[in-house]
């Protein structure tokens, strides 16, 4: 039996096979072709936006450009923020909020020149590099050193500790974005955690004088919240492998990287006891 279907705006005639089975296979293929979205907050994949946290709200750059930033850079800067001297010693210029920026606002993408891995040497200036990865391996770098090929995200500085960090970075479809992890008040500098090596490269003084509960054994980054520490270990395989398993079971002394794994393990102990 022949079946005529409309698929992606074109009519295609199936000559062989049962009509229902062919149509069903086509529908399945089209459904699989839909790319899943990963929620950056709960790290779960959905066909569409996260039902709990919803979509990230992009920063509106259509309202015009900040005139005060022209004395610091020729790169256009949206009205919601301004570029001026950073509040961090030796950090140069920084980005500050001029208006209230709500939590879960998406910023980006980070623009620059694409640099291949094989073109990077020990003498290469990587101070404006962002890594683009696939399956844990670096595909290429985005270099925003040249202002002619960059945008205003190049001026966002590295946080000295987790308390002052208000941005998180994430990769989506080969681009680097940031999103606000808290409401940002006018006059507040936008700060993201780039990593320990970046801090050392710029010669920044990292302030660890806060109530840090988790410390990475590899790069020595410190975290107040376990959620951020787990994210750090998840997206850095080297750090994940270097860190000891810190959560111990009180009954069998087995160790786990995360508290949730330990809790699941303890529940199994309780289930075995009830049997």
pLDDT band at 86 (very low <50, low <70, confident <90, very high): very high
Give the list of residues 6+ apart from residue 188 with CB closer than 8 angstroms, or none.
96, 97, 166
Q: What pLDDT, in 10s, does the model give residues 140-153?
A: 999 999 999 999 99
Identify the H or E element spanning 240: helix 237-242
Tokens 């199936």, residue located: 14
What is the distance between the alpha carbons of residues 169 and 108, in angstroms, rounded to a whole number?
Answer: 10
The answer to whether the beta carbons of residues 101 and 80 sit under 8 Å apart is: yes
pLDDT at 234 over 90: no
CATH fold, domain 58-210, is: Beta-clip-like (2.170.270)
- DSSP run (H or E) holding 229: helix 226-235
pTM over 0.75: no
Position with higher pLDDT, 52 vs 223: 52
The strand pair at 105-107 and 167-172 is best described as: unpaired
pLDDT, residue 3, reads: 44
In which band, very low, low, confident or very high, does the pLDDT at 77 lie, cut at 50, 70 and 90? very high
pLDDT digits (tens, 9 = 90+) for 25-66: 444 444 444 456 667 666 666 667 777 777 889 999 999 999
Tokens of 117: 């891995």
**Average pLDDT in the 259-269 region?**
77
């Amino acid at each position: 039996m022949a079946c005529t279907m409309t698929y992606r705006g074109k009519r295609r005639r199936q000559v062989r096979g049962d009509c229902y089975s062919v149509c069903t296979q086509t529908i399945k293929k089209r459904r699989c072709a839909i790319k899943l979205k990963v929620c950056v907050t709960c790290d779960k994949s959905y066909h569409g936006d996260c039902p709990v946290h919803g979509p990230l709200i992009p920063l509106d750059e259509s309202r015009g450009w900040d005139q005060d930033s022209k004395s610091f850079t020729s790169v256009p800067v949206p009205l919601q923020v301004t570029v001026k001297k950073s509040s961090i010693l030796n950090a140069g210029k920084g980005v500050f909020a001029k208006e209230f920026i709500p939590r879960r606002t998406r910023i980006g993408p980070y623009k620059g020149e694409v640099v291949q891995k094989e073109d990077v040497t020990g003498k290469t200036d990587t101070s404006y590099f962002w890594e683009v990865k696939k399956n844990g391996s670096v595909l290429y770098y985005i270099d925003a050193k040249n202002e002619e090929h960059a945008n205003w995200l190049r001026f966002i500085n590295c946080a000295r500790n987790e308390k002052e960090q208000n941005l998180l970075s994430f990769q989506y479809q080969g681009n680097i974005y940031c999103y606000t992890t808290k409401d940002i008040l006018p006059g507040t500098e936008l700060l993201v955690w780039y990593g320990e090596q970046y801090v050392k490269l710029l010669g920044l003084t990292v302030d660890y004088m806060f109530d840090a509960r988790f410390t990475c054994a590899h790069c020595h980054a410190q975290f107040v919240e376990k959620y951020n520490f787990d994210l750090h270990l998840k997206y850095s395989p080297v750090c994940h492998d270097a860190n000891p398993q810190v959560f111990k079971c009180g009954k069998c002394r087995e160790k786990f990287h995360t508290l949730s794994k330990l809790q699941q393990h303890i529940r199994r102990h309780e289930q075995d006891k009830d049997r």
